[in-house]
Amino acid sequence: MDKKERLRSLYKVDEVLQDECLVFFKEKLPYALVADSVRKEIGLLRAEILNEDDPPAALTERQLFLERVIRRIQTDATPSLRRVINATGTILHTNLGRSPLSEKAIRRVVETACSYSTLEYDLKTGRRGSRHDHVRSLICRATGAESAMVVNNNAAATMLVLSSMADGREVVVSRGELVEIGGSFRIPDIMSLSGVTLREVGTTNKTHLSDYVQAIDPERTAALMKVHTSNYRIIGFTDDVPLSDLRKLGDRYDLPVIYDMGNGLLADLKDYKIFEPSVTEAMRDGADIMLFSGDKLLGGPQAGIIIGKKKYIEKMERHPLARVVRIDKMTLSALEAVFFGYQDMETAMKEIPTLQMLTCPKEDLYEKARLLAEQLALADDTLRIGIESCEDLIGGGSAPDVRLAGYAVTLHMDALTAKQIEYQLRKSPVPIISHICQDRVWLHMRTIMDKDIKDLVESILNLKG
Ligand SMILES: *Cc1c(COP(=O)(O)O)cnc(C)c1O
């Protein structure tokens, strides 16, 4: 058979689609998806015929070809955004979706999202209400703030705050705090996008109160701003001006003080040696307006939370940008549940997965590792399992200097390299994200959830050497 003949004997889309082995898929999945998969596989086979001297096996063996089609259908039918098992030990893993939500928050989302809701309706008056009212009083109770509003994320919050409080004027920020958070969020860029002129003061390592004083201009200055250097630390010969001192300066010159704190920590984690600034402390130190993410140390959904003086918040709610960055009802439901939980800190610590993982004692992680290792002992003896102490990270650009002492289960096989094990685990039905160290695959117990264990064990036992 020459290439021309091979091409002529290539399968036809319509004919393959009639094959009995595809009936199940045609019933379960959109016809267009199945047809497209058949078309793609025929296209690939055509390329193989043209590029290879020998006839491809799938051309002569129909079953082989059909298996390829089915694999393609299964791949194409798998959702792109899907659950994974985070075995990296990095809690707020930015690439893996930062904070997982609590069961309670999810139930609230489902309840409001699949029905009509009071999103912008006031049941008392029967008139239009504000979406911000659903969480305002809960946030105020949890933080001690006078008022609050929520938007899409903290980057959006920063823009809205700056645009509404300082448009066309200057905001004074220390040079040591001009942060970049993950690529496209840079304080100087957000400032210019908000129509604000950045007035940098001090140096990278040291900024004094007098630097701020010198930069203040009665006409041009609109606000003083402090940005928490969430994702890096400047150590050594350093000095920065604490929020409480900026507050005094703000009072002296009648300027509002804005604090972008990023992490949104409400719990007290000092017992766990995590010394991140907390929302309530910063409120006490006197920020007029403070903003933080919903899905970092708060442990909620992606959101930007703005708290502080009522007069500024009211202005933000009326600002045209508020509509551009407005929060959706699903996020709002989840946030309401999260802040409701924070009314009792003990409950919050138990319910919020991020806080659970952060505060999980080392002994519990060891026990979890031991139980996992025990289940894996069912494997044949080509799989070598170890339990090692390890260091976990908070991640999400928070507390970069904190290392949490944890435990990992390590995997080693003679028949597979660590890289091959990592790859196979990543390709499992529920993908497992792990890392390699000392030629072994490490599964950090801190971020592996109880509901992950069954799938994890199954995938490991299925490793093929
Ligand atoms: C994380 C962070 C942001 C960006 O928040 P997103 O919710 O990711 O938009 C802004 N400022 C600081 C200080 C942060 O830590």
Atom of ligand 1 nearest to the CA of 231: 15
The mean predicted confidence, pLDDT, of the chain is 94
| 438 has pLDDT over 80 | yes
Residue-wise pLDDT tens digits, 163-211: 999 999 999 999 999 988 876 788 899 999 999 999 999 998 999 999 9
Q: Can you give the pLDDT at residue 33?
A: 96
Taking alpha carbons only, the member of 261, 243, 239, 249 closest to residue 176 is 239
Residue 183: predicted pLDDT: 67
* 236 has pLDDT over 90: no
Q: How far is the CA of 153 from the centre of ligand 1 (A)?
A: 8
Average pLDDT on 34-53 reads 95
**Distance from C-alpha of 222 to C-alpha of 165, rounded to nearest angstrom:** 7
pLDDT number for residue 382 = 86
Amino acid of residue 358: L
Residues with Cβ within 6 A of ligand 1?
A: 153-155, 179, 181, 185, 227-228, 230, 260, 262, 293, 304, 397
Atom of ligand 1 nearest to the CA of 261: 13
Q: Which residue's C-alpha comes closest to atom 6 of ligand 1?
A: 154
**Of all protein residues, whose CA lies closest to atom 1 belonging to ligand 1?**
262
Q: Which residue has the tokens 């659903």?
A: 134
* Whole-Å CA distances, 13 to 34, 44, 57, 59: 10, 13, 18, 14
Residue 98 has pLDDT above 70, yes or no: yes
Q: Work out whether strand 147-151 and strand 304-308 pair parallel, antiparallel, or are unpaired.
A: antiparallel
Predicted confidence at residue 42, as pLDDT, reads 96
The answer to whether residues 34 and 25 touch, using CB atoms and an 8 Å cutoff, is: yes
Q: For residue 366, which of 406, 411, 394 has the smallest C-alpha distance?
A: 406
**Which residues, at least 6 apart from 101, have a Cβ–Cβ distance to it below 8 Å?**
109, 300, 301, 334, 338, 353
| Distance (Å) from CA 374 to ligand 1 centroid | 41
Q: Kindly give the distance from the C-alpha atom of residue 188 to the centroid of ligand 1, in angstroms, as a whole number.
A: 14
Q: What is the pLDDT of residues 291-312, one digit of tens each?
A: 999 999 999 999 999 999 999 9
Distance in angstroms (rounded) separating the CA atoms of residues 354 and 295: 9
Q: Per-residue DSSP letters for 384-409?
A: EEEEEEEEEEEETTB-TT--EEEEEE
CA separation for the pair 210, 213 (Å, rounded): 5
Percent of the chain with pLDDT over 70: 100
Which three-class secondary structure state does DSSP give residue 107? helix
pTM, 2 dp: 0.92
- 10 Å Cβ neighbour count for 313? 22
Atom of ligand 1 nearest to the CA of 295: 7
Of all protein residues, the one whose alpha carbon is nearest to atom 8 of ligand 1 is 154
How far is Cα 123 from Cα 157, in angstroms, rounded to an integer?
A: 28
96: its two tokens: 């893996």
The pLDDT of residue 3: 87
CA 68 to each of CA 30, 37, 83: distance values in angstroms, whole numbers, following the listed order: 18, 9, 25
Cα(156) to centroid of ligand 1, in Å? Answer: 9
Measured by CA distance, the residue closest to atom 14 of ligand 1 is 262
Q: Which atom of ligand 1 is nearest to the CA of 293?
A: 7
For residue 155, give the ligand 1 atom closest to its CA: 9
Nearest 5 degrees, angle CA 309-CA 123-CA 148? Answer: 15
- d(CA 291, ligand 1 centre) in Å: 9
